[in-house]
Structure 1
Amino acid sequence: MTDYIGYAYSFTVALGGIIGFVKAGSTMSLAAGLTFGCLAAFGANRVSKNSKNVGVALTVSVLLLGLMGFRFYKSGKFMPAGLVTVLSLLSAARYGYICYDNY
């Protein structure tokens, strides 16, 4: 079964990096957004092929939850750090549940 939610998450992360680059000229946002977006898409692809294979997707979600959660805590700004934090929390919870449910 195709992991549409995972692909949507990866697209949102990559798009956020692109928007950060266009609006602020931040090459770090571009690099991080595209890197994490591609890794999340790779994870979604692995979950699509085998629902028990959530390791990459879960790891990317937890990493982004920690990184962007810290940025949100420091800045207090919902966009973009807060939004990515919430999406990463939901994604990590979803993949964690899938992992727990499969074992």
Structure 2
Amino acid sequence: MGYVKSGSSKSLISGGLSALVLYFVHTQLPTNPVLASSVGLGISAALLFVMGSRFKKSGKIFPAGVVSLVSLIMTGGYAHGILRSSHA
């Protein structure tokens, strides 16, 4: 969205890299859930931090607020997945 709105190549590259990492997480979850959840936790926490600080600074719901909320939910989901997989 940052690229569309302002032509920011940085937004395009960081969004693409995040998507690639999350695709890797998606493909690895069935075979290696702890590794995939750990990587997912890291990327979700990073997105939560970056987009949360942007939301706090700008107060704009889209895209920073939406991405922050989704990242918060996914961070909890990945943490739950790690705890669940390590007890199995």
Instruction: Report the number of matched residues.
Output: 85
Unaligned runs of 5+ in 1: 1-18
TM-score by length of 2: 0.87
Structure number with bigger Rg? 2
Q: Distance in 2 between matches of 1:48 and 1:67?
A: 29
Unaligned runs of 5+ in 2: none
1:48 is paired with a residue whose SS is coil
Moved more, 48-57 or 78-87: 48-57
Which stretches of structure 1, 4 residues or more, deviate above 3 A after TM superposition?
none
Indicate the RMSD between aligned Cα atoms, in angstroms.
1.3
Counterpart residue number, 2:82? 99
Deviation at 1:87, TM superposition (A): 0.7
1:63 is paired with a residue whose SS is helix
1:71 is paired with a residue whose SS is helix
TM-score by length of 1: 0.75
> Which of these residues, 11, 30, 37, is aligned with residue 48 of structure 1?
30
> Which of these residues, 47, 52, 62, is aligned with residue 45 of structure 2?
62
Q: Distance in 1 between matches of 2:30 and 2:52?
A: 27
